[in-house]
Structure 1
Amino acid sequence: MTTHTRERSTRPTRRAVATVAALGVSMLALGACTPGASTDSEAADSPYGFAAVEQQADAPLTVWVDASRQPAADAFVKANPDVPVTIETYDGGADGSGSFQTKVQAFDQAGSGWPDVVFSTQNNDAAWASQGDDPFAAPLDKGYFEQSFLDGFTEGALAPLTVDGTVYGLRNDLAPTVTWYDESLMERFGYTVPTTWEEYQALGEKVAAEHPGYIVGTVGDAFAEEIYFWGGKAPVNTVVDSGTFSTDTSDPHAQDMAAMIDELLDAGVLAQESVFTPEFVQKYTGKVLMLPGPVWYSGALFDNPDSLAAEPGTVAAGLPLAWEGEEPAAGNVGGGTWFVSRHSANLEAAEKFLEFVTSDERYQVDLAPGLPAYEAAADKWLAKQAESGFFAGDFRANVSTAATQIWDGWGYPRFSQEAVWAKTVTPRLAAGESLVDLLPQWQEAIENEAQVNGYTIK
């Protein structure tokens, strides 16, 4: 973990005096005492809606971010030089690594060491971070944040972070899947952009025959199942309730999607490299005809000199695809979440940090690579993209529509579907095995992981 310390002068906070007077000094942690904490019985007296540790107006704020969110933390430091901040970088839980949870469990055992603020790429982290006798994540809608601020998030954006009716995190950005395509290549080859999965498969087979070397997608990332199976309405990741989980890879949507992927892999038009690898960039720059994937590919891949570096006006974000005769559906790939620790001794500064990184234009409009979850910032970010002229087609309208089409049949359990897919499916696909044949093994692996995490399988 890389640490960047930004020491600044301190200032009084509007809640500090009242909070210190109201709160006690002890609260049980998992297997250890938390120094300076109060008992849960005092939560009703807390202005935050939960029993907080003793607050210190000059306590440094420790913030964990992944490399992509480093600019967010830096922007906050620049805009708030009076807030003492220590920035530490880690993997953000990418690909379901579980590093966030593992580190928190170690701090729980030690009874100290928790960061104040954490960014995670995994929206399902709220499912575990909100649980236990002394959970990590602070509830955010019981008095901690103003409701008017929380109401500013795009409708549904906080749903993945809402557990038993309580909000435990704030979304950084929205990540609906869209159908990326190179408009210039489509016109040159005389192709029509597909609107259904059936048309997508037919186009892929045509590309294989007429323009070998070009691709229409990739399955090389741990989030491939969130693009294809979530976007294809396959019920393989269903949280029935807080204790019950369901997965069904025998469902026709799952079977059809797996068969389509097999066909396109055999045809050579689906890449098996991760989009973040040098190999992908080297092999496919200028060769990406289509690429179903999240909206944040905009800044991460296409408008990025270190990645595919598309020419302005060539790449467009098309609408999500549909099965023939059905309504279109978008998957969701990450989007990222900010959490505040219950153990923070400077909740005032943590609140200020989260408000800035989720809603302030100086980050979310000027610097953020993806669609902000905060509605006012999202509107301005979309307008900025449209005005830049970098993307072809109606980028603003299509992205806005996709954000309303995320399929609600895919849940957020206490484990990472990405980690299960990466371990069970990815290496076997790379070895040439059939995805259709792998579906029962994938289902078994999902069920085993669900049971380990305390779910009853329905």
Structure 2
Amino acid sequence: MKKKYSLIAIAGAFAIAGTTVMAMPAQAAKPSITIWVDAPRLPGAKLYAEIMKPTVDVKVELHAQADLVQKVSLFNRVKKGWPDVVFGPPNDVSVLADANNVLRLDKYAPAGFWDDMKDGNQWCKGADGGWYCVKNDLAQDVLWVNTKLMKDFGYTVPKTMDDFAKIGADIAKNHPGYSLGALGSQGLYSGYLWPSQCPVNQATSSTAVKIAPKSPKCTRATALVQPMIDSGVLSTSAPWDADFIKDYGQANKVVMTIGPSWFGEFVIRPASSWAVPAGQITAAAMPMWAGEKVNYSGEWGGGIYTVSPHSKYPKEALAFAVFMVQDKRNVVDVANPDGSKGAPTFPASKKGNALWKAKISSDKYYAADPYPAMLEQSTKIFSGEKPVSYDTNGAQEGTMSNELKKTKNAQAALDAFAAYAGNLAKQLGYKVTTS
């Protein structure tokens, strides 16, 4: 009876108010975003999804780094399928911009975030001064050194590339079966050609690129590595190929190797990879090429986060990238499948980098603190490389690496890459300079 009376009273109250009824505000929809990441970023992405459950629905998908570049044309054609935020290779920012699938991000994060990222995020800066991506990490080359083997063989850390090559010749003669690393995947390009300033991916404007594989700064690099390829001191495999891991990595026969700042945590240390014992490895500065005043690095990786302009929740999408590059829960604490903790890469964020430095510098795995060499080389990445609108990363890992494996000839591999990249550039309207 009371229930009936209450309903009548409520109806009467609305009747008294006439036809004007105050509508209750609808509950805001819970934001939902889809994230694409590669395997090294997967633990952090899953952790973020768990943390955000109360406020944002986060769907995490594992994808190879090149996936979006390959699929964006399809998504654009069918008008659906775009993920909200994607981790990919650094060159993606230009390729995706041409496909109308990259969002200017400035207004979706506080000015303080962009100030923190400024020095490490220049790759992501557009011609209009805006930020179009967030760089996850810097992947500057350093010289990874096995201090035990160097001492056993009586070597000192080389200061020049000529000295590096002399050690290679001595290993071939006196210590056969030992190695100075692997050139497959992006090893030749990022470790030798880029630091040598070889102009085969140097965009001189938004419509022009220099691809000149016979430049002296290219041929000096291929000439330096060729004798070491011939002797077997430099492998044409990738550093994670099964043959290299078995014959050199897990056999602890890599005396030193040029490689990116993430090699220590991702390639050299893990039990599933080289598994070099604790107390042997550190990083040194890059050797200098003859006639140069700066010992430049290349960059192998240094991936980026881009946000789709089709995202309904761009602020929430960008917040994921902020978490990945700055938050201690990812940078230092996240649990990885191999039992390690934290991100394996040198953060581009100053805030994130300070957290990562404290972790790496105090890590007793290393024979000496590798961070100072990483920090030095982070300011020496040769800046002649610029984003281009074709998939240069795919060309390096495909055409160049495959040709190197097949021919065992560094210059032939470079020429094949240059021809392939030149055709891609011309198809997209670039003016290509070859000398």
TM-score, reference length from structure 1: 0.82
Equivalent in the alignment of 2:65:
92
**Structure 1, 364-373 or 73-82: larger mean CA deviation:** 73-82
Matched, 1:137 2:102: yes
Distance 2:219 2:191 in 1: 15
Residues 278-325 of structure 1: CA deviation (Å, up to 9, x unaligned): 222111120111110101111111221111112112011111121124
SS where residue 217 of structure 1 aligns?
coil
Seen in structure 2, the aligned counterparts of structure 1 residues 437 and 338 have a Cα distance that, compared at 3 Å, is closer
Matched, 1:126 2:93: yes
Distance 1:440 1:338 in 2: 31
CA RMSD of aligned residues (A): 1.7
Equivalent in the alignment of 2:373:
398
Seen in structure 2, the aligned counterparts of structure 1 residues 158 and 57 have a Cα distance that, compared at 3 Å, is farther
Residues 398-440 of structure 1: CA deviation (Å, up to 9, x unaligned): 1110101101112221123332234433333223353235544
Distance 1:329 1:89 in 2: 34
Q: Residue 372 of structure 1 is aligned with which of 321, 339, 347?
A: 347
SS where residue 218 of structure 1 aligns?
coil
Distance 2:414 2:300 in 1: 21
Cα contact 2:140–2:298 (8 A) shared by 1? yes
How far off is 1:145 after superposition?
1.7
Q: What is the aligned-residue identity percentage?
A: 29
Residues 132-166 of structure 1: CA deviation (Å, up to 9, x unaligned): 5xx2111011x2222211111261x2222222122
What residue ranges of structure 1 are gaps of 5+ in the alignment? 1-55, 94-98
**Higher RCO (CA 8 Å, separation ≥ 6 residues):** 2
SS where residue 203 of structure 2 aligns?
strand
Distance 2:409 2:355 in 1: 44
| Correspondences of 1:50-199 after superposition (within 5 Å) | 57-82=29-54, 83-93=56-66, 99-120=67-88, 122-131=89-98, 135-141=100-106, 143-153=107-117, 155=119, 157-164=120-127, 165-199=129-163
Cα contact 1:216–1:288 (8 A) shared by 2? yes
SS where residue 338 of structure 1 aligns?
strand
What residue ranges of structure 2 are gaps of 5+ in the alignment? 1-27, 334-341
SS where residue 333 of structure 1 aligns?
coil
Distance 1:269 1:226 in 2: 18
Distance 2:429 2:392 in 1: 15
The one-letter code of the counterpart of 1:125 is D
Seen in structure 2, the aligned counterparts of structure 1 residues 265 and 382 have a Cα distance that, compared at 3 Å, is same
Distance 2:138 2:217 in 1: 25
Cα contact 2:108–2:315 (8 A) shared by 1? no
Matched, 1:243 2:207: yes
Distance 1:230 1:150 in 2: 28
The count of aligned residue pairs is 393
The one-letter code of the counterpart of 2:245 is V
Residues 196-233 of structure 1: CA deviation (Å, up to 9, x unaligned): 11111111010011111110121121453122100122
Seen in structure 2, the aligned counterparts of structure 1 residues 136 and 226 have a Cα distance that, compared at 3 Å, is same
Which is greater in Rg? 2
Matched, 1:268 2:232: yes
SS where residue 258 of structure 1 aligns?
helix
Seen in structure 2, the aligned counterparts of structure 1 residues 320 and 352 have a Cα distance that, compared at 3 Å, is same
Distance 2:403 2:75 in 1: 36
Cα contact 1:383–1:396 (8 A) shared by 2? no
SS where residue 308 of structure 1 aligns?
coil
Seen in structure 2, the aligned counterparts of structure 1 residues 60 and 177 have a Cα distance that, compared at 3 Å, is same
How far off is 1:455 after superposition?
1.0
TM-score, reference length from structure 2: 0.86
Seen in structure 2, the aligned counterparts of structure 1 residues 244 and 234 have a Cα distance that, compared at 3 Å, is same
Residues 61-108 of structure 1: CA deviation (Å, up to 9, x unaligned): 111111111011112123222121111111112xxxxx2122121111
